[in-house]
Amino acid sequence: MRLRDENQKTGHLLSFISKDNRDDNFSFFFPVKGLDQFDTLLEITTGFERVLQKYWQAYECISYSIADFSRMASPFPEVNRRRVYIFEQDEFLSENCKFMDAFGGIIIDRHIRKYEPIFPEIITGAMATGSSFYDRRDKIEEIWEDLEKGKNILLRAPRRYGKSSMLHHISRNPLEKWRVCFVDLEGGKTPEDFVEYLLVKGIFMEKDCNLYLPNRLSVLDIHGKTEIEKTDIIRQERNKIRQDWQSYAKELLSSIEDKSGGERFLFIFDEFTFLMEDMLENSKNNPDTVNIFLEWFRDIREQVGRIQFVLSGSEHLPTFLKSFKINGALEDLNEVHLDLFDEKTSREFVFLVLSGQKIVAPGSEIDQILHLMGSPIPYFLQLFLDAIYRKCKEGKALSPNEIKNVYYGELLGSESKRYFESIRKQLERYNRFGPRSLAGAERILDQLTMSDSVALDTLKVIWGEITGREEHFETILGLMQDDFYIKKDKHQALFFGSKLLREWWERHGL
């Protein structure tokens, strides 16, 4: 694995030109060193022609020999120079020099479908938004199909699977006649907070959504106000919410319903699980507040016609609510589960990310990255790719052994603490579920690290020994399922679903 050599100026240009409109074209330039590369170049050109067959009615492929790429005259009059990309042959060839149709296919696909940019960026912190968001087309389609049928959705997946990124993408790319408002509920601890976030972190943030506010608020034109004026308005509204959050929410939602006309309005509530957990903690684990809130929210869902909801939550949300005897409050929601990228998508993703960073990665090394990672959890995969990119940028060619060193030394090394801070933070909240819950969870993780899988009953005994009780064992396992990707097999044995997390715990937790 190494940075692409872009100094070689002689090479082969493959141009893909729309048959209907020659201005619609893109080209790949492959530098060539000499006759020794004739056979591989032939493999590349025939490979691309083969993968283009899918689009044979729309596009044709024409090749050009280029003596000096830096002084390339237009090989054909309509050449779009902004869509000329340099690659090396090795990026598309397997170890036995065969064209890798998967990589050729995905790159052709993304060009023809005009994805911008073609190469997803490396995102190591925040949500992957806009250009950085990758794939999930099927899942997004599934969600919109459900919404179009009038269903409300509970999107469930473990942490760092990319729920927020996907929901953000949905909010930025709504279907026709849909208005979407994204609300991040993290930090909310009460029903009043929920209503306030809906207004302040949701509607007020979207200029277009202002039109749907009750008249007394929409005339204020909050987007035209100074920060001080905005703060003042928010303070006044907060006071009103505190007086009667249900009436306030009703006024708000009725206004949206009335003003939607022929449109439909979608609220996306991200981090709904956090809201539930924090609401419970805030009421000292008394489920009454949560019950009241959830029942009210269920009634709202039944009452409104043009407003729909997507709630995102962790996998453990139903178990968690059940453990506090909160039942049935979310049962009307259609459950959608977000899985990890499958193997093919993961390979393509790694290829595209590295290629976008001008890194030549043989297929075997892409496989090695995925093998080292285990389950390709997007957040950690991005971290790994970032570490590899930084090494390559230093001008180093990485051997398979060095890739392994990056994984164990950088991603799991002593400097990696910051990557896992959020997990540590999640662990700390375990003590909300009774004293020594954190210690019990840690002991379970220790046990799971030491064996490939451990029987559920054994873990229950360990939990009992450490915490002195049986209560909340299931709740904690639910949390661990989301935070540590703990999975259960058909024999009721538990195991780490993430090789990376298991190795991290082995090094830094055990």
> Footprint of another protein on this chain (CB under 8 A)?
8-12, 32-38, 41-42, 45-46, 60, 62-68, 73
- Judged by beta carbon, residue 36 or residue 452, the one nearer another protein is 36
Minimum CB separation from another protein for residue 22, in Å?
A: 14
Q: Least separation, in Å, of the C-beta of 77 and another protein? A: 13
Q: How many CA atoms lie less than 13 Å away from 381 in the CB half-sphere?
A: 31
Contact 231, 204 (CB under 8 A): no
The nearer residue to another protein, 66 or 369, going by C-beta atoms, is 66
Minimum Å gap between C-beta 31 and another protein is: 8
The whole-angstrom separation of Cα 15 and Cα 103 is: 17
User: Would you call 293 helix, strand, or coil by DSSP?
Assistant: helix
Q: Which two tokens stand for residue 350?
A: 């790694």
Nearest approach, Cβ of residue 95 and another protein (Å): 21
Judged on CB neighbours under 10 Å (0-12, 13-18, 19+), 138 is exposed
Nearer to another protein, 14 or 372 (CB): 14
Nearer to another protein, 41 or 211 (CB): 41
b/e sequence 96-105, b meaning 16+ C-beta within 10 Å: eeebbeebbb
Give 121-164 as a DSSP string: PP-SSS---GGG----HHHHHHHHHHHHTT--EEEE--TTSSHH
Q: Least distance in Å: CB of 107 to another protein? A: 19
Task: Give whichever of 21 and 327 is closer to another protein, judged by the CB atom.
Answer: 21
Report residue 325 as tokens. Answer: 């005897």
11 or 202: CB nearest another protein: 11
Minimum CB–partner distance for residue 153 and another protein (Å): 49
Continuous segment of H or E residues that includes residue 345: helix 343-356
Q: Which is nearer to another protein, 28 or 194 (CB)?
A: 28
* Side chain identity at residue 440, one-letter code: G
C-alpha distances in Å from residue 461, one per residue of 87, 413, 427, 468, 486: 57, 33, 20, 10, 18
35: Cα within 13 Å, side-chain hemisphere: 0
Q: Which residues pair with 494 in a beta bridge?
A: 454, 488
What's the min distance (Å) between Cβ of 34 and another protein?
Answer: 4
Minimum Å gap between C-beta 13 and another protein is 9
User: CB-wise, 11 or 162, nearer to another protein?
Assistant: 11
Residue 84, strand partner residues: 27
